[in-house]
Amino acid sequence: MSEADMRKPVVVLVRPQLGENIGKAARAMLNFGLTELRLVEPRDGWPNPSAGPAAAGADIVLERARVYASTAEAVADCAHVYATTVRKRGVTKPVVTPEEAAREMAGNVGRSAFLFGPERSGLETDDVALARAILTVPINPDFGSLNLAQAVILCAYEWSKHETLVQPTQEDLLPPAPQDELEGLIDHLDRLLEPKGYFLPESRAEATRRTLRGVLTKPGWNHLEVRTLRGVLSSLQREPKP
């Protein structure tokens, strides 16, 4: 395992009940760059045929998943364990948010782990006792139930802020159009408005043109958008067909 992988937190699912939920948790992990999944006494055994379809392509996480007989064994090599729960379970420990836990993990020396309990009941007191801190989120007190994958994705997302991941939409953004293309658009609109008396009275023409220029330059349109707007103006300029 590379040094970079050793820095990433482990995700430990304690006594997970449904294969589908294990698969969805794996999918949430891989979305944000986590690949090491550990399972403690999965109810229906492992491998589980229901996990694969739910993982939606996160097969690498499932293939590498390891099964442990106890929570203590699953986190034995982890120096920093964060138990996810909305209840303190009778133990006194520091309480942190996913954001705080991820920040601490990024700066800690030694392996870290997120600990998640069974879908129906959550972590038991003995599980929480193994952790250095309790991880919880501000949540509706009248409905504090997160499903397993939701809990995993909250933690994985916060961790991802400390990694270099690609922002998919950034690659699709085109740069603003060059100034000469924008000047062409402004001049085109000016030529259409002039004969319509838009810039009258003459005493206000300069201020009106300046305001119009401000409106047209503010959005930072790219060259495709400028070309589209020029096409709209050209269409309006044409005489209607008889």
Query: Tell me: the pLDDT tens digits for 4-50?
Result: 778 899 999 999 999 999 999 999 999 999 999 999 999 999 999 99
62: pLDDT confidence band, cut at 50, 70 and 90? very high
Let me know the angle formed at the C-alpha of 36 by 26 and 89, rounded to the nearest 5 degrees: 80
This prediction has a pTM of 0.70
Residue 185 CA to residue 227 CA, distance in Å, equals 8
pLDDT (tens digit per residue) in 81-95: 999 987 655 678 899
Structure tokens at 122: 């959550």
User: Per DSSP, what are the bridge partners of residue 166?
Assistant: none
Rg (CA), the chain: 29
